[in-house]
Amino acid sequence: MQYIIKTEGLHCGHCDASVETELMKVAGVTDADADHETNTVQVETEGEVAAEALAGAVVAAGFKALSVEAA
C-alpha cells in the first residue's frame, strides 16, 4: 500500500532523513520518501499499516504529522 503523510516542520534534507529513518523502523514499511519542500512523505508498505504508527514515527523524529491518507 501507499500512504501520504502531510507534515509540518520539515526544513531541510536532514529533516527528511530523520523522518525516513523513523518510518523505516515501523513494521511493514518498505520505503519512505520525505520532501521538505512540500512537507509530505510518501510511504510504501507491505499490506496495511495503522495510520497511528506512521504518524507516531513522524512525531518520534521531532515533527508534526497533520494527516495520514492512503494513496
Per-residue pLDDT at 46: 97
User: What was the pLDDT predicted at 50?
Assistant: 97
Q: pTM for this one?
A: 0.95
Query: What is the span of the domain harbouring residue 59?
Result: 2-70
How would you classify the pairing of strands 29-35 and 40-45?
antiparallel
Percent of the chain whose predicted confidence (pLDDT) is above 70: 100
Q: Are 57 and 26 in contact (CB under 8 A)?
A: yes
Q: Which is nearest to 58 in space by CA: 1, 14, 3, 6?
A: 6
Give the C-alpha separation, 56 to 42, whole Å: 15
- Tally the domains of the chain: 1
Domain of 55, CATH number, reads 3.30.70.100
